[in-house]
Chain A
């Protein structure tokens, strides 16, 4: 199930209501099925990131906080929620498969940009429904992922 971590909810409120400094960039990282993210998950180190290499860098892909990378906002008066779509995130395997070794990507999560990847806070997460691997030359695309806010 996709959703927000409690850490993410807290950070969003702090940025919005206390003018806390948001991360310069956000990241989308990929994780194995060794541990499932849930609302209580705090940091990348709580999960098992897929092996880096061949087009996947530890920490994942960077996102800017703008309307290019968060491209469609929806105000849903029917279901009383707000949604935002992410641009397509593409990891292209080059020189070997992604992941370079070990288990495939089962989960994706949005994190902050802490210089220490393992300490990055996890804000939102998605279940890719099965372990995903791509072979050399193929791409793993996270297409139109959504983040939603529901009361």
Chain B
């Protein structure tokens, strides 16, 4: 099930769209969606977490709350940078339901707060490596 189908299933009646006239194109792992407050970007945790953990070089056995937060901050940053050249800010992001990716399912590692605050070091590494 791709991100568009996931959004359709999660928000019956709402209209996810891979492209929206006048809005920049999103990466294939994200979709525009719309509700009463307007357009937002939706991502499927079952897609984005494994993808970005893989980019970060974090194997299954090494997944921790720290790395999940680094991954979340990295895919958020990737979206912001994707939209920025068009002058469109990432005003709203929705991470869909994905029980398997709840932080509580993982050991703390260095901790989620450290991951959130320290993600930029990893983000810059991904950029140097051409992965972001």
Chain A: residues with CB nearer than 8 A to chain B? 1-2, 67, 71-79, 85, 126-127, 129, 143-144, 146
Contacts and interface: CB of A to CB of B under 8 A. Distances in A.
B80 A79 contact: no
Given A143-B120, A146-B116, A77 B96 contact: yes
19 contacts: A71-B90, A71-B91, A72-B76, A72-B93, A73-B93, A74-B94, A75-B92, A75-B95, A77-B94, A77-B95, A78-B95, A78-B96, A79-B102, A79-B103, A85-B76, A126-B117, A127-B117, A144-B73, A144-B77
Contacts of B103: 79
A90 to B, nearest CB: 15
B113 interface: yes
B97 interface: yes
6 shortest interchain CB distances as A-B pairs? A77-B97, A74-B93, A78-B98, A76-B95, A75-B94, A78-B45
Interface residues of B, number: 27
A71 B93 CA distance: 11
Contacts, number: 59
B117 A129 contact: yes
Interface residues of chain B: helix, strand, loop or mixed (majority): helix
Given A75-B94, A77-B97, 16 more contacts: A2-B116, A72-B76, A72-B93, A73-B91, A73-B92, A74-B95, A75-B40, A76-B94, A78-B95, A78-B97, A79-B102, A126-B117, A127-B117, A143-B120, A144-B73, A144-B120
Contacts of A127: 117
Contacts of B76: 72, 74, 85
Interface of B: 10, 40, 45, 73, 76-77, 80, 89-99, 101-103, 113-114, 116-118, 120
A74 B95 CA distance: 7
A72 B80 contact: yes
Contacts of B120: 143-144
A67 B45 contact: no
Contacts of B101: 78
A22 B102 CA distance: 33
A71 B117 contact: no
A141 to B, nearest CB: 10
Contacts of A79: 95, 102-103
A29 to B, nearest CB: 18
B33 to A, nearest CB: 11
